[in-house]
Chain A
Amino acid sequence: MAYQGFSIKRWLTTTDHKDIGILYIVTSIYFIIVGGSLAELVRIQLAVPSNSLLVPATYEQTVTLHGLIMILWFLSPLGVGLANYFVPKQIGAKDMSFPRLNAMSYWLYLFSGVLLLSTLFLPGGGAGTGWTLYAPLNTSLYSPQPGVTLAALAFAMLAVSVTISSINFITTILRARAKGVTWRRLPAFTWSILMTNILMLFAFPPIAAALVLLTTDRVLGTVFFSSFEGGSILWAQLFWFFGHPEVYIVALPALGIMAEVLVTFAQRPLFGKTLFVIELSAVTALSIGVWIHHMFMTGIGFDVREAFSLTTLAISVPFEGLVLNLVLTLRKGTIKLTTPMLYALGGIFFVILGGITGVFQGFIVLDYLFHGSYWVVGHFHYVMVGTAIFGLVAALYYWFPKITNKMYNEKRGKILFFISFIGFNILYFPYFFLADMPRRIESYAANPQWWPFNLTATIGALIFGPALLLTFANLIQGYRKGKGAEANPWGARETEWTGNFTGAAQAEEGVAADSQKEVSRMEENSPVEKSRFTYLPVTISVGAAVFLTGFVLFWPVAVMGLGVILAAIIQWFKDDVRDKYAVVKEAIGENWPFNSVSKEKVGVWIFLVSEVVLFGSLLTAYIYVRLRSPVWPAAAQVHNITIGTTNTLILLTSSLAMILALQAIRSGSLRGLKSGLIGAFTLGTAFLAVKLGVEWPLEIANGFVISGGLAPSSYFTLMGVHALHVGVGLAGMTYLIAKAFSGRFTAQSHTSVELLGLYWAFVDIVWLILFPLFYLV
């Protein structure tokens, strides 16, 4: 570590996974304080049947911001922060697979949050739609204020951050495990993070797609969500396809942590570890297929709802199974009731209650009663606050000595746990008596019978909130004044504490010491990175925030932001050409089944998965609106098929040139590489020129304009997103061409050519879908 002590420069430029983990943790705690204060405002407003603290519009914005911040800017990022710190430690990797991208994820996350908060200060304020941003309330007609557009873009920026970090985590877990960390021996927490990130990879591109469409609706005049042809259902589909997995994204890391904590403090191995992993995987797989249970009241076909009622019941089996595994771990254990253990046990208690209430809602008949009521609010606060927050606080205490080398005040920790636990129940249990009180109302003067429950809840909030705040204070105090802690004060056996990845410890002490030595020797011998510090991730993220703000408010500012981003990206490429950030080579470890594939390539493949999901969502939206529309213009009337066909041939040929370039450098021909790249680049440019310079002007001249209904809406949006991808590919090719002309590729070293080739093939394939769908069918 080049920096000792506190240094602003270090924190702005670090790419070290531990540093970034800490940044994530601290930032997410900042966001819970903001989101929690909003919640206290809401509870105070509802303490009496009619209150003038918050006028309706303010109340709605408060509730909306509260929900968005808590779920997306606090709960999951705190999990990501802990994972950043401990996944590499658990699997014996020196760092994440892509450290600079890791820093970038963090900065994008931070500045997306800043953007979200800043919407409050815009004229008209932020979104007042509820965290689900339901259509058509989210359209310009009902929410004209620019804050809603900016909030949507902030959310999209977060989606980019999450996607980058999930690619990073999955690659790291697949490719960077130390010798001995086989799949069988992968720790429970790392398993839960792997599953969480797989879910993120599938869940965030759809919401990004939805937000792109919402933005084009609000800014460019498309009509996806304002149309009467099912616009609001389209939003609900896309949102909940993201939204349901998101609740498991929040829950799984907490369950993984509970497993670690219970194992340590019950001094028993995790009950049925294999089963636990199977259940985790089942929950992950099934959670992609239950989202309609959020739409039981929307009047979609009964058969569909019935099917999703069944999947919802199905997912509760592995989910409750996970909980059962945790509970059974306690059996015959010698239980040490430390603070983290208390929080883990509390979390289990809440997940049982919350899970049961969820099953109730899974029955359509019962959901008629519960939907949109405070019962639902009770359900998800039990799981989200109870399970997730208690689990995450357990982790903060549990790993505190590991992060800080200090010990927190145990007695205060325990007292605060009991206060929190009681406050929590006083706060949320009354909600189950309010199954007839609708959500998101700011007064209930006509229903005074709800008052006692609401008042109780408010009292609970005034206990729980401060207790949580004091909990963070307790941790900070421990960091500043705490006594020094031993290396492994809990006597934990997991790898992040023992540094023993081969599992020899359980058998013989001597072997363990040997493998310890081996680990440190490994570290000494591996080449050191030339630099671990870079300003580029933070610069790009600031540029992105400036760009988005300008895009909504004042376009010259957007141009500035774009300039900053481009300059930083060019610098990034320059650094790469000079190999400035040659990243540590990990010692050869366990990487079945990817033994022969570089981590870069694994990363690109995973990235392409997210791209498939992104385009899949956009295409779904297109097919959806097209099927719902009573009339749809015949392709031949609006599009020139000759132009479309020509462009298809151009792009196909460009792909051929690209693959020939790759083939050339594989056999060592730099000349072949250069001509192939230049060919691919020229053809790609021609494609864009034809599309944007010839075809669009023609269509627009014929009256086919983006704001002219669903058909042009979907055509221009999908084509635009594809064209953007072509542009990115071309930018990448310029980099390759520059590098080729400086003679830096050889038969042995040309990974980036192969990677861009993959991406270019993907862009080609997308076009192979777009062409028939828009020009022919």
Chain B
Amino acid sequence: MNRIFVYVLVWAVMVAGTLLQVVIFNSSATANLKNLGVVAIAVAEILLAATFYLNLRYEPKILALFPILAILAVVVFITAATLAVGM
């Protein structure tokens, strides 16, 4: 029963996060601030989804390393490509 409660709670937080993103986007903040807010919430939501939907708690820790490694590689690549564009 409490597991179900946790899942529903996570879902509710993500729904709220999505709505918050839209609110931030429609606000009158500066473009940079808006982007920052939207991206920060997205990252938080992804982590939430990964931790709960993927049930990481029941896997050996090292499994979590795979996707993290993958995400790291992607981040490195994106950063390098962005740098390459910038210069």
Q: A interface vs B, CB < 8 Å? A: 202, 230, 233, 237, 241, 288-289, 292, 300-304, 593-597, 602, 605-606, 608-609, 612-613, 616-617, 619-620, 623-624, 627-628, 641, 645, 648-649, 652-653, 655-656, 659-660, 663, 757-758, 761, 764-765, 768-769, 771-772, 776-777
Contacts and interface: CB of A to CB of B under 8 A. Distances in A.
B84 A765 contact: no
B7 A616 contact: no
A623 B70 contact: no
Interface string B50-87: 10111000011011001101110110111011111111
Contacts of B3: 663
B74 to A, nearest CB: 3
A448 to B, nearest CB: 41
B29 interface: no
Nearest to A636: B25
Contacts of B70: 202, 609, 612-613, 616
A645 B19 contact: yes
Interface residues of B, number: 47
A765 B10 CA distance: 14
Contacts of A660: 4, 7
B73 A776 contact: no
Contact of A777 (B11, B39, B52, B81): B39
27 contacts: A202-B73, A230-B85, A233-B84, A288-B76, A289-B76, A300-B87, A301-B84, A304-B87, A602-B63, A608-B67, A612-B71, A617-B74, A624-B81, A652-B18, A653-B11, A655-B11, A656-B11, A659-B53, A663-B7, A757-B53, A761-B54, A765-B49, A768-B45, A768-B49, A772-B21, A777-B34, A777-B35
B35 A237 contact: no
A593 B66 CA distance: 13
B41 to A, nearest CB: 8
A605 B35 contact: no
A620 B67 contact: no
Given A648-B18, A659-B7, A757-B53, A304 B80 contact: yes
Contacts of B78: 616, 619-620, 623
A611 to B, nearest CB: 9
Interface of B: 3-4, 7-8, 11, 14-15, 18-19, 21-22, 25, 34-35, 38-39, 41-42, 45-46, 49-50, 52-54, 59-60, 62-63, 66-67, 69-71, 73-74, 76-78, 80-87
Given A609-B70, A649-B18, A772 B39 contact: yes
B60 A645 contact: no
A292 B84 contact: yes
Contacts of B49: 655, 761, 764-765, 768
Contacts of A616: 70-71, 73-74, 77-78
Q: Is the interface of A mostly helix, strand, loop or mixed?
A: helix
A649 B15 contact: yes
Contacts of A765: 46, 49-50
A653 B66 CA distance: 26
A761 B63 contact: no
B38 A758 contact: no
B83 A656 contact: no
Contacts of B60: 593-597
Given A301-B87, A628-B85, A649-B15, A612 B74 contact: yes
A303 B85 CA distance: 12
A639 to B, nearest CB: 12
A214 to B, nearest CB: 17
Contacts of A777: 34-35, 38-39
B22 to A, nearest CB: 5
Nearest to A295: B84
A772 B14 CA distance: 13
B39 A663 contact: no
Contacts of A593: 60, 62
A364 to B, nearest CB: 15
A606 B85 CA distance: 31
> Which 5 residue pairs are nearest across A and B when measured between Cβ atoms?
A301-B87, A616-B74, A761-B53, A612-B70, A656-B11
Given A612-B71, A624-B81, A660-B4, 10 more contacts: A288-B76, A289-B80, A292-B80, A593-B62, A606-B66, A609-B69, A652-B11, A663-B7, A758-B54, A768-B42
A304 B60 CA distance: 38
A620 B77 contact: yes
B38 to A, nearest CB: 5
B64 to A, nearest CB: 9
